Amino acid sequence: MLHLKEGDKAPVFKGKDQHGNTVSLKDFKGKKVVLYFYPRDMTPGCTAQACNLRDNYAVLTQKGFVVIGVSADTEKSHQKFTQKYDLPFILLADEDKKIVEQYGVYGEKKFMGRVFDGIHRTTFLINEKGIIDKIINKPNTKNHTAEILSC
């Protein structure tokens, strides 16, 4: 796993969102970005996190943030997730795991005694110049917006 640090330049990514549009970090130059990585659509923790961001989306946008979620799910899965929970932000489908590997959030995990490779729940706060201001490891899914705003 690549280990990015606060103060590093954020790796430029490109991927397809839930609507099939190509999205790149370059598209948000001059804006603050909440780039959050999560394991899987429709799971309890990931749903709680997405809904917390949804419920506080107006506050985040007022503070100048663009919110982008990334998982290895398909565009179709993201579309269903977005529709079911009325999510107003971008979800990128990273099926080939290029973005998660660029950001160093894909690797060995342990859950219920099982060891497997997967996405580590991590959020990167990227400033207007494309620099990582803050990395939130293992964010609190139910209070993630508060964590972001306290940084």
* Tokens matching residue 6: 């606060």
Q: Is the separation of the CB atoms in 31 and 64 below 8 Å?
A: yes
Residue 58 belongs to what H/E stretch?
helix 57-62
CATH topology of domain 28-149: Glutaredoxin (3.40.30)
Q: Edge to edge, what strands does the sheet with 32-37 contain? A: 22-24, 14-17, 90-93, 65-71, 32-37, 122-126, 132-137
**Chain segment 56-106, per-residue pLDDT in tens:** 999 999 999 999 999 999 999 999 999 999 999 999 999 999 999 999 999
pLDDT digits (tens, 9 = 90+) for 13-42: 999 999 999 999 999 999 999 999 999 999
pLDDT at 141 (0 to 100)? 96
Q: Which residues are catalytic?
A: 46
Count Cβ atoms below 10 Å from residue 2 Cβ, excluding itself: 12
Say how many Å lie between the first and final Cα of the chain, rounded.
25
**Above 60 in pLDDT, residue 1?**
no
**DSSP output for 85-135:** HT--SEEEE-TT-HHHHHTT-EEEEEETTEEEEEE--EEEEE-TTSBEEEE
Instruction: Tell me the per-residue pLDDT of 95-128, one tens digit each, with 9 for 90 and over.
Output: 999 999 999 999 998 878 889 899 999 999 999 9
Give residue limits of the domains in the chain: 28-149
pTM of the predicted protein model: 0.95
Find how far residue 8's CA is from the centre of its chain. Answer: 17
